[in-house]
Amino acid sequence: MKLLTMEQYDAEEKKRTAVEEDTKLDTRVLEIIKTVRQRGDEALLAYTSRFDEVELKRLVVSEAEMAEAETLVNEDFRKAIQRAQQNITDFHTEQKEESWTITKEKDIVLGQKVTALERVGIYVPGGKASYPSTVLMNAIPAKIAGVKEIVMTTPAGKDGKINPHVLVAARMAGVNTIYKIGGAQAIAALAYGTETVQKVVKIVGPGNAYVARAKKWVFGDVAIDMVAGPSEICVVADETAIPSHVAADLLSQAEHDELATAICITTSQAFGEALLNEIQLQTTTAERKEIIEQSLSLNGKIIVVGTLQEAFKLVNELAPEHLQLMIENPMDKVQYVENAGAIFLGNYSPEALGDYMAGPNHTLPTSGTAKFSSPLGVYDFMKKSSIIHYSKEAFEEVADDIITIARTEGLYAHANSIAIRKVDK
């Protein structure tokens, strides 16, 4: 991990060259999508054998497997996940929008009809870790929105089974069907359907590079939440922050994968030096040491700036997925943050609190997309239709103006559809 001044950081950034699209990855992903569309379940089983090294007899998790999972989780986990479920539900319930209409003069009625999506697919990663929290974060907002059918895909382990904690979380959150498939092939199945997998109208949830690329390629045929990149954390710290706490929070994101980004921006050179020492100390005993070391080597930085204003300017340029303000009076400073997926205030609001328990969603925009994107929410599982009703009197009052605009645009059939009603008795 590097300790840099702002000038050194700027110099490093100027040396960066644009990364070309990984054409090899695109080629592989497009081939997988094409094969799944052509061969359906046969392709899913073949890819599962090839990539996950497991021979499946069926793609759908059975009721017997669900019942078995219930016996394999302990009471501490059950209580913790129930508490998280309640907090996530309470927060997301506030996001739900309702249909509305307004009535103006002359019996003009305008409005908006809000309708839940019919069927959505949730992708839950497997591999390096299991993510029951991701199940809750994706399924609960869909359930609150009123989605009729929620299906989930997640890769099976070498024993052909899904992690029991993931299954229990899925049942609690109201998932209807679970498929034992992962990777780009799962995204293709959700987007286009197979003999077993019924196509959905939207796909949400994080995944590896293959999953992210597949989501990008199927977008348009189906909706997606976002194309998520590696996890990110940015901590803004002053001399009131506790080095061991900041170090622990940076490592909590670095352990996700080798491409994760962990940055601290501080106004104190002494704090930066103490933090660097603490990071080195904690890394030596970390369970996922190799991943953390590679992540910090590639994308770990401590940047010393002159003022908090300079820090917030850099924050808004980075638009981080997770932003922690570990500074004096953070509530007063949050007004200076324009671009961030989620903002954590104070020394006792670590990013992991948001990952598991606080309630706001942990599916967040990455790679600078917080400049124009929002966290996953209930609004992602609803669509809106406009409502328009004019009485004859109200219509005739605006008819000539519509005809003028339509003819100006050269759309004479549009104009005629208005004019023909003017003479209608």
- Whole-angstrom distance, CA of residue 262 vs CA of residue 251: 7
Is 322 noted as a catalytic residue in this protein? yes
d(CA 84, CA 193): 32
Give the C-alpha separation, 312 to 364, whole Å: 20
The number of CA neighbours under 13 Å toward the Cβ of 393 is: 5
**Alpha-carbon distance 319 to 301, whole Å?**
16
Report the candidate in 209, 250, 25 with the shortest Cα–Cα distance to residue 127.
Answer: 209
Catalytic residue among 232, 321, 351, 362: 321
Q: Which of 278, 322, 351, 362 is catalytic?
A: 322
- Can you give the three-state secondary structure of 208-255, one letter per residue? CHHHHHHHHHHECCEEECCCCCCCEEEEEECCCCCHHHHHHHHHHHHC
Find, among 153, 150, 96, 152, the residue nearest to 118 by Cα.
Answer: 150
The secondary structure of residue 202, as a DSSP letter, is E
Residue 364: phi and psi, rounded to 5, are -130, 155
Q: Which tokens belong to 191?
A: 């987007």
321 is catalytic: yes
Report the phi/psi class of residue 410: left, alpha or beta, with left for phi > 0 and alpha for psi in -120 to 50. Answer: left
Q: Give me the sheet containing 382-389, strands edge to edge.
A: 100-104, 108-116, 382-389
CA 138 vs CA 133, 160, 363: distances in Å: 9, 24, 8
| Number of Cα atoms under 13 Å in the Cβ half of residue 245 | 19
Return the amino acid letter for 258: E
Cβ-Cβ contacts under 8 Å for 89 (sequence gap 6 or more):
140, 144
Residue 106, sorted as left (phi over 0), alpha (psi -120 to 50) or beta, turns out to be left
CB-CB neighbours of 287 under 10 Å: 7
* Tokens encoding 156: 């099976």
- Token code pair at residue 22: 């990984």
Distance of CA 363 to the CA centre of its chain: 3
φ/ψ of 62, rounded to 5, equals -85, 165
Return the active site residues.
Answer: 321-322
